[in-house]
Amino acid sequence: MPTSTVTIGLLLPDVLSTYSDAGNATVLAKRLHWQGIPAEVLRCTADQSPPTSCDIYVLGGGEDTAQLFAAQWLLSHRALCQAITGSSVTLAVCAGLQILGRCMTDVSGFTHAGAGILDIETRPRRVRAVGEIVTDCTVPGVGKLCGFENHRGATTLGTETRPLGLVRSGVGNCDRRLGRRREGVYTDRIIGTYLHGPVLARNPALADHLLSRATGHTVKSLDVPDQTALRDTYL
């Protein structure tokens, strides 16, 4: 296992913080600590230049105005975009997912540029998706995912882009293929999802997948009291 400190870059916690998604960074750091691996969370607010050498980046959700600001902020920091597409691992939730795509269309019909890191596009739904969601995760070994979705975005994946999950109950991306609704995005280095909760607190296997990718070593599962019982109430 690694002995050097794993750095977790929490991007724009002052902007993308509507649903406590910043807690995902805390979950990652805590699970590393329990494994005996040193970890550091670097909070990068809107008035700072972002670090470009983190092992993991975390982006959270936000409302429309915050989302558009975050997209422009990300586009203005191309070195960070290159880091996200490089050797780092990234978790992007809700608005954080949308701004990594090619573009986003707002409720007025205007299209705004995203960072272009993911082959996805987002447009507004007619009805907001709100409520619990359960999916079958496409990441091997992770199993079912649960969370709370609250979004008006309908995200379409490019033909070569894999979903993070196939929806059992809930809405997800509003993007169907082969008869199943899909949720999120899954690449070798990026996990994008509409699941709040925070998602990693409710789905520790997904957290361990990210940590394994970031460290290059398999992270052992942890026996956290009441964790299984809590998940059983949602799955």
Catalytic (active-site) positions: 94, 196
What is the Cα–Cα distance from 27 to 228, expressed in whole angstroms?
A: 16
Of 34, 43, 42, the residue nearest 13 (C-alpha): 43
Nearest-CA neighbor of 27 among 223, 201, 195? Answer: 201
CB atoms within 10 A of CB 143: 13
Tokens of 68: 């558009």
Question: Can you tell me which residue has the tokens 């509507």?
Answer: 18
In this structure, the strands spanning 180-183 and 175-177 are: antiparallel
The secondary structure of residue 162, as a DSSP letter, is B
Which residue, among 192, 201, 146, has the nearest Cα to 169 in the 3D structure?
A: 146
Q: Sign of torsion, CA 74 79 80 85?
A: positive
For residue 183, the 8-state DSSP code is E
